[in-house]
Structure 1
Amino acid sequence: MAYLADTVFADWPRVQYAELITLDRFTPRVHLVQLADNPETRLVVKYVSSDTAKGNIWKEMNILKTQQLHPSILPIDRLILDNNNCIVGMGTKFVPGGNLNRNKDRTFKLKWLKQLTEALDFLHFDQGIVHGDLHMGNILVDEAADRLVLCDFSMAREATQRNLIEEFWSVTWTLYELITLDFTAEEEQVQNSQRENGVYSLNTESIEKLPRWTVRTKLDCDAETFRSYLREWIKVRRETLQSVKARKPETMINFSERGRIQWEGPIHGCQGIQSRTIRMNHQY
């Protein structure tokens, strides 16, 4: 664990773990909490694990160290400290609208898809990274702001041409699943690619060649308008792949000059990160 005073995050807002009241446990290390002295303030807290294969909070903190990167990227609200002032987690504001898995009766808007692609443009071109785990569970709906918000950057990686193409595939599968509520086609694609080529691939050819997508979700315009917009966005972005300057996210905590770190066992017994192929029914 890292001592707050020894990191570059020493001046960030913080709260002691003892001051939190747990309301729900989305996963063993992702909890919904409220502040004991301010019950109206709710946070989603992600706790540290020393096993980076289970998600990397330090990577997320480094990516989100600008408090508000983009209006469609969920920023860190405050850090969580133990009694020794070690960082044991990070908290983001709870978004009551939940993720796209939550409310299937909600009307999905074309403007929201455009907000999503604008956020991806920001990540790709300004930050040089890809989200890396784009699916309905990692896209929140801020109903008050009428805006989609991306969360969970634990799988973010550098925006190489290969990673960008995979991100394009992921956003296409996300739109397909949102419109059709068909979650089996992606699993079949992965199984076929592993059986035929021995690799994990989210290639979208099987769904892109479909003349129509069966609409099982409320949309504010016809499905083909959504598909046409996304096709054109991907076409233009494929033409500009070489202009993206990839930057590998820092995966360890940033320390001040006198910084020190001490790794201990996983906190709260994290059992593993949820990838896009495991549908999540909670905010994260």
Structure 2
Amino acid sequence: MAYLADTVFADWPTARYAGLNVLHQFTPRVHLVQLADNPETRLVVKYITNNMMKGNIWKEMNILKRQQLHPSILPIDRFILHNNNYIVGMATKFVPGGNLNHNKNRTFKLKWLKQLTEALDFLHFDQGIVHGDLHMDNILIDEAADRLVLCDFSMAKEATEQNLMDEFWSVTWTIYELITLDFKAEEEQVQNSQHQYGVYSLNTESIEKLPSWPVRAKLDCDAEAFRKYLREWIKMRKETLQSVKARKPETMANSSEQGRSQWEEPTHGCHGVQSRTIRINYQH
């Protein structure tokens, strides 16, 4: 990717690619690993595998460059270096509780939804960006800390009015799917919008007008409490859209005075996967 010394991360913790033992491949470019010299340390490593991902992963690194950005945002733990101190990936700590898709039998708590909206408020108002890719795979549960945690900021965008509306729709669809385990309604919504208007839309009108949502998941309170809280949060945020100061996430590496910053394809054998920006393309 780039020389470590040519970036703003020069003094951050690192690990060598050769010192990683792969325990599981979540995708061809995202691995669960342990450190060869410290087997108890488990990390999730995201590798840079193609030209398209270089800008996205740099953007994600810049968003997460503060070690403790927010208690519900998964920070970078260290960078993965290859030959000549090139950065070829970034690592975050492994969250044993997994994502919302990983464990559908877990009782989902209203406090976790509140933690999600608090994290989004931080992103929207303090950082001026939207997550841009909210769905059940990108929401983790740290059971030991009893906290919901957001991950994967590679699709983050500036918090424009339309991007904020898209984020609100994504949150609503995610909570709907979490509660109902109905993963077909969203696809039907998108297909109908494309058929009627020729555009992709995640508008939530079809599920918001339902008098009740069929509950198929375990919740710590009535489903209507989740819907009520979500409706009130979105209503309040729509009224404050004008106060959000959008900021476009950085996508390019900072170079040192020597100008040695350059990109390099990693040689770890991963072929990468196509970026999936449409939520219905995720396998639930």
Q: Equivalences for 1:140-151 in 2 at 5 Å? A: 140-151=140-151
Q: Is the 8 A contact 1:178 1:217 kept in 2?
A: yes
Q: Distance in 1 between matches of 2:57 and 2:261?
A: 14
Provide the secondary structure at the position in 2 that maps to 1:43.
strand
The answer to whether structure 1 residue 156 and structure 2 residue 156 are counterparts is yes
The answer to whether structure 1 residue 271 and structure 2 residue 273 are counterparts is yes
The answer to whether structure 1 residue 256 and structure 2 residue 256 are counterparts is yes
In structure 1, the partner of 2:180 is: 180
CA offset digits 1:143-192 (Å, max 9, x no partner): 00000000000000000000000000000000000000000000000111
Identical amino acids, percent of aligned pairs: 79
Q: TM-score, normalised on structure 2? A: 0.95
In structure 1, the partner of 2:108 is: 108
Q: Distance in 2 between matches of 1:124 and 1:260?
A: 34
Shift of 1:256: 2.9
Q: Distance in 1 between matches of 2:54 and 2:88?
A: 15
Provide the secondary structure at the position in 1 that maps to 2:83.
coil
Cα 1:266/1:11, change in 2 over 3 Å:
closer
Q: Distance in 1 between matches of 2:257 and 2:200?
A: 42
2:15 is aligned with what amino acid? V
**Segment of structure 1 superposing worse, 172-181 or 192-201:** 192-201
Q: Distance in 1 between matches of 2:11 and 2:169?
A: 39
Cα 1:87/1:33, change in 2 over 3 Å:
same
Cα 1:115/1:226, change in 2 over 3 Å:
same
In structure 2, the partner of 1:237 is: 237
In structure 2, the partner of 1:76 is: 76
Cα 1:266/1:191, change in 2 over 3 Å:
farther
Q: Is the 8 A contact 1:2 1:262 kept in 2?
A: yes
Q: Distance in 2 between matches of 1:109 and 1:55?
A: 35
CA offset digits 1:106-163 (Å, max 9, x no partner): 1000000000000000000000000000000000000000000000000000000000
Q: TM-score, normalised on structure 1? A: 0.95
Q: Distance in 2 between matches of 1:257 and 1:69?
A: 28
Q: Distance in 1 between matches of 2:4 and 2:192?
A: 47
Cα 1:259/1:95, change in 2 over 3 Å:
farther
In structure 2, the partner of 1:67 is: 67
Shift of 1:102: 1.1
Q: Distance in 1 between matches of 2:166 and 2:39?
A: 41
Provide the secondary structure at the position in 2 that maps to 1:74.
coil
1:279 is aligned with what amino acid? Y
Q: Is the 8 A contact 1:53 1:272 kept in 2?
A: no
Q: Distance in 2 between matches of 1:4 and 1:61?
A: 13
CA offset digits 1:32-70 (Å, max 9, x no partner): 100001111000000013422687110100100111100
Q: Is the 8 A contact 2:48 2:265 kept in 1?
A: no
In structure 2, the partner of 1:28 is: 28
Provide the secondary structure at the position in 1 that maps to 2:88.
strand
Q: Distance in 1 between matches of 2:54 and 2:171?
A: 23
Q: Distance in 2 between matches of 1:144 and 1:162?
A: 36
